[in-house]
C-alpha cells in the first residue's frame, strides 16, 4: 500500500484466519468472495484510514469515540480498530448473528478498544465523535439515524450514484454542499474492484482542507 498506515497484510493474517473460520459457521461474507477477504473487505475498510491521512493531522482519532453503524461482521470497524488503537470503537448492528462474528474476531485478536451493541441505530444511547459505515443505507437515512449524535463527521463507504444520494441528503436536511466531500478510492487502490467506490464525508460544521492544500 502506498501509505503511511501502520497495518499491512501480515498484520491482518490472524484476523483473516478468524474470519474464514467463523464465516464457515455464520455467513457474513459471500462464500465466493471469501478468497478476496483482504482486498475487498479489509482494504476497502482501510480506505477510511487513507482518507483521514490525506485530510487530517496525525492522531486525529486519538481518544475519539467512533460508531461503526451497521457493522455486520465488523467492517469497517475491526480493521480501523487495529489501525487506530487509541480510538474507541462501538460496533453496532441490529442482526445478532452478524455481531457474533464481529465479537468473536475482536476477542480473538485481543482488541481492547472495541465494544459491540446489538441495537438499531435509532435506539443506540450516547454520542460519538465520528460515525463510520459501509454500504448500509442511503446517505439521507444514515444522517437521519445519527443526526445530533456525532461531533465531527460521518465517513461512509459508498458506491454507485453517490451524487444523487448527496443531492437528496442536502435537499432533505438543508445541508450546504461544502460540508460534503467525495474521495475516490481508486485514487489509492488502482483496481477495477474499486471503480466507482468512494469515501464520503459529511461534516458536522466544516471540512478540514487536505494536508496537501
Of 16, 21, 17, the residue nearest 40 (C-alpha)? 16
Of 6, 187, 205, 9, the residue nearest 87 (C-alpha)? 6
Judge whether 57 lies within some domain: yes
Judge whether 213 lies within some domain: no
3-class SS shares of the chain: helix, strand, coil, % to 5: 45, 20, 35
CA dihedral 14, 50, 77, 173 (to 10 degrees): -170
**Chunked mean pLDDT (size 10), the chain, 213 residues:** 55 90 84 85 96 95 97 96 97 93 95 95 88 94 93 96 95 94 95 95 81 54
The dihedral of CA 13, 52, 204, 168: what is its sign? Answer: negative
Q: Residue 199: its pLDDT value, please?
A: 98
Conformation bin of residue 94: beta by default, left when phi > 0, alpha when psi is -120 to 50: alpha
Structure letter (DSSP) for residue 32: G
Beta strands in the chain (DSSP E): 65-69, 88-93, 114-118, 128-134, 150-159, 180-184, 197-203
Radius of gyration of the CA atoms of the chain, in A: 16
Which residues are 132's β-sheet partners? Answer: 68, 155
Judge whether 170 lies within some domain: yes
CATH, residue 143: 3.40.50.150
Judge whether 2 lies within some domain: no
The dihedral of CA 29, 32, 36, 40: what is its sign? Answer: negative
Structure letter (DSSP) for residue 61: T
Q: Residue 3: its pLDDT value, please?
A: 47
Judge whether 35 lies within some domain: yes
Q: Residue 6: its pLDDT value, please?
A: 55
Q: Residue 26: its pLDDT value, please?
A: 85
Helix (H, G, I), strand (E, B) or coil at 189: coil
How many domains is the chain partitioned into structurally? 1
Sequence-ordered list of residues with C-beta below 8 angstroms from that of 43, at least 6 positions apart, any chain:
1, 189
Domain range for residue 39? 9-203
Q: How many residues does the chain have?
A: 213
Judge whether 212 lies within some domain: no
Q: Residue 173: its pLDDT value, please?
A: 94
Judge whether 3 lies within some domain: no
User: Do the beta carbons of residue 170 and residue 180 sit within 8 Å?
Assistant: yes
Judge whether 38 lies within some domain: yes
Give the separation between CA 124 and CA 156, rounded to whole angstroms: 19
Phi first, then psi: give them for residue 68, nearest 5 degrees.
-95, 105
Amino acid at each position: 500500500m502506498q501509505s503511511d498506515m501502520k497495518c499491512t497484510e501480515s498484520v491482518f493474517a490472524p484476523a483473516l484466519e478468524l474470519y474464514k473460520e467463523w464465516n464457515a459457521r455464520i455467513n457474513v461474507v459471500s462464500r465466493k468472495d471469501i478468497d478476496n477477504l483482504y482486498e475487498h473487505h479489509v482494504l476497502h475498510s482501510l480506505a477510511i484510514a487513507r482518507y483521514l491521512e490525506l485530510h487530517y493531522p496525525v492522531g486525529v482519532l486519538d481518544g475519539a469515540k467512533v460508531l461503526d453503524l451497521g457493522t455486520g461482521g465488523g467492517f469497517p470497524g475491526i480493521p480501523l480498530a487495529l489501525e487506530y488503537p487509541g480510538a474507541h470503537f462501538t460496533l453496532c448492528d441490529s442482526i445478532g448473528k452478524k455481531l457474533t462474528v464481529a465479537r468473536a474476531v475482536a476477542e480473538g485478536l485481543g482488541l481492547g478498544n472495541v465494544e459491540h451493541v446489538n441495537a438499531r441505530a435509532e435506539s443506540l444511547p450516547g454520542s460519538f465523535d465520528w460515525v463510520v459505515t459501509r454500504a448500509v443505507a442511503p446517505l439521507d437515512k444514515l444522517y437521519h439515524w445519527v443526526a445530533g449524535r456525532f461531533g465531527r463527521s460521518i465517513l461512509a463507504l459508498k458506491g454507485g450514484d453517490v451524487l444523487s444520494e448527496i443531492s437528496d441528503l442536502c435537499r432533505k436536511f438543508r445541508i450546504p454542499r461544502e460540508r460534503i466531500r467525495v474521495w475516490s478510492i481508486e485514487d489509492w487502490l488502482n483496481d477495477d474492484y474499486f471503480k466507482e467506490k468512494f469515501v464520503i464525508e459529511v461534516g458536522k460544521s466544516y471540512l478540514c482542507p487536505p494536508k496537501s492544500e
